[in-house]
Amino acid sequence: MQHDFATQDRRGESVGGDQGAQSTTAARRLFCADNLLVLRAMATCSIDLVYMDPPFNTNRRFVGSKGSPAAGAGFDDVFGTRTEDKEDHANLIHMYPEIERFLSLATHWGHKGSGQYLLFMAVRLIEVRRVLRETGALYLHCDSTMAHYLKILLDGIFGVEHLRNEIIWCYTGPQPSRQWYPRKHDNLFYVAKSASHFFDGDAVRIPSQWNALGGFGNPDVPKKNRGKVPEDWWHMTFGPNSKERVGYPTQKPLALLHRIIAASSREGETVLDPFCGSATTLLAAEALGRNWIGIDVSPRIHDILTMRLSQAGYPPSFDYQNMHAGDHAKG
Ligand SMILES: C[S@@+](CC[C@H](N)C(=O)[O-])C[C@H]1O[C@@H](n2cnc3c(N)ncnc32)[C@H](O)[C@@H]1O
């Protein structure tokens, strides 16, 4: 199935629609669809930043908290029993035989479902690389379940020289664990499309011990007195009672997305989140004046996004396309 669409960003540049189909003036856009369909229909080199927080292959079902705005929402993070991947597999073997060999290895050595999970990720990462501009970058959020395999996959698709950082997001919280240390970090692979990628460390400086003199955040103060560019480990708490939480399982904190978007895109540029869940990325992009495109298979995201935009004081309308229903409407 081929879906065509086009959209314009806040600078009026086209960010989609290789096939020259419908054009809209949307700078804010949500698709309810399998992201592979949308990615395949997007124009090459049209996106400035991709943040993706896919399922982690945990072999679990995640559900929204009862009584919360996300009650009834959820997704299966279960691989290994899908049958719809045969075509993807055949294409991958044809185009990237070495990736296919790597998937066979992961199937033998990895957790249950690893081969199928990595195939799911590989076909999407190939499209993500294609839609990124030369100055663009990807942040791939995962955890220790699949991080070691995903890093190799990224080497194969983006090139080992384009890995900028493996960022560790660490947090605290209860986890009864007597046989190992509590697992309290996620991994984010920050990968550039090319050597000319954009990065603005000044936009995300944080106070450092030696700049307590008061120059933090003041552009008139010399850089060395304006705090430091954060290291590649980020301690950001996101407690169960945080006011931001909407009850969506696996929801990420706005502070994490603010930092990523501020450092790796400019105002008016376009941020894509192909697994947007409770729309954290879209909200952070809105706050920072970026255009945004979100994709999620769950039809519940429309209402969650509307609610979050409205509560944050932003216009709650956006361009919405539900590909399950073949529908195209304003949200
Ligand atoms: C880990 S959650 C994302 C959470 C999000 N970052 C947040 O802050 O709420 C993964 C999301 O991917 C979605 N998803 C899974 N498979 C998908 C697919 N093939 N296409 C689009 N979305 C998908 C799920 O519905 C889920 O909302």
* Range 218-230 burial, b when 16+ CB lie within 10 A, else e: eeeeeeeebbbeb
Q: Are 240 and 221 in contact (CB under 8 A)?
A: no
Summarize pLDDT for 8-54 with one digit per residue, the tens.
444 444 444 433 333 333 589 999 999 999 999 999 999 999 999 99
State residue 123 phi and psi, 5-degree precision: -65, -30
What average pLDDT is seen over the chain? 86
270 Cβ inside 6 Å of ligand 1: no
Distance 251 CA to ligand 1 centre (A): 10
- CA nearest neighbour of 59 among 134, 6, 111: 111
What spacing in Å lies between the alpha carbon of 211 and ligand 1's midpoint?
Answer: 40
Write the CA distances from 5 to 27, 228, 276, 311, integer angstroms.
Answer: 13, 42, 19, 29
Q: Is 234 helix (H, G, I), strand (E, B) or coil?
A: strand
Of 64-73, 89-98, 230-239, 302-311, least confident by mean pLDDT is 89-98
Which pair of tokens denotes residue 200? 């603005």
Separation of alpha carbons 289 and 15, rounded Å: 16
Q: How far is CA 328 from the centre of its chain?
A: 23
Q: Whose CA is closest to atom 13 on ligand 1?
A: 275
Distance 38 CA to ligand 1 centre (A): 14
Look at ligand 1, atom 19, and give the residue with the nearest C-alpha.
34
Using a 6 Å cutoff on CB, does residue 57 contact ligand 1? no
Check residue 326 and report its DSSP letter: T
Tell me the per-residue pLDDT of 136-170, one tens digit each, with 9 for 90 and over.
999 999 999 999 999 999 999 999 999 999 999 99
Q: Which CATH architecture has domain 49-198+236-294?
A: 3-Layer(aba) Sandwich (3.40)
Percentage of residues of the chain with pLDDT beyond 70: 84
CA separation for the pair 3, 17 (Å, rounded): 9
The runs of H, that is alpha helices, within 20-85 are 35-41
Q: Please tell me which residue, 316 or 87, carries the higher pLDDT value.
A: 316
Nearest CA to ligand 1 atom 4: 277
Ligand 1 atom with the shortest distance to the CA of 51: 6
Q: How far does the centroid of ligand 1 lie from the alpha carbon of residue 77, in Å?
A: 10
**Whole-number Å distance between alpha carbons of 103 and 116:** 8
- Check: CB of residue 80 under 8 Å from CB of residue 116: yes
Domain ranges of the chain: 49-198+236-294, 200-228
**Beta-carbon contacts of residue 212 (< 8 Å; ≥ 6 apart):** none
Q: Is the CB of 53 under 6 A from ligand 1?
A: yes
208-243 residue pLDDT tens: 765 554 555 666 767 666 788 999 999 999 988 999
User: In the chain, count of helices (H) and strands (E)?
Assistant: 8, 12
Contact (CB, 8 A) for 260 and 234? no
Residue 84 banded pLDDT, cuts 50, 70, 90: low
Tell how far the Cα of 218 is from the centroid of ligand 1, in angstroms: 38
Per-residue confidence (pLDDT) for residue 276, from 0 to 100 = 98
- Given a cut of 50, is residue 331 above it in pLDDT? no
Helix or strand run (H / E) with residue 62: strand 60-63
pLDDT value at position 93? 79
Cα of 324 vs centre of ligand 1, distance in Å, is: 16
Quick one: which of 191, 149, 200, 144 has its CA closest to 168? Answer: 144
Look at residue 88 in the predicted model and tell me its pLDDT: 79
Q: How many other C-beta atoms are found inside a 10 Å radius of the C-beta of residue 21?
A: 13
Interval 234-254: pLDDT, tens: 999 998 899 999 999 999 999
Exposure letters 282-301 (e unless 16+ CB within 10 A, then b) = bbbbbbbebbbbbbbebebb
- From the list 211, 57, 163, 59, the residue with the least C-alpha distance to 120 is 57
Pocket test for ligand 1, best of 51, 68, 75, 76 (most atoms within 8 A of CB): 75
SS3 125: helix
R_g over Cα of the chain: 20
CA distance 169 to 280: 16
326 or 191, greater pLDDT: 191
Nearest-CA residue for atom 18 of ligand 1:
34
Residue that wins the pLDDT comparison between 173 and 260? 260
Q: What is the CA(226)–ligand 1 centre distance, in A?
A: 37
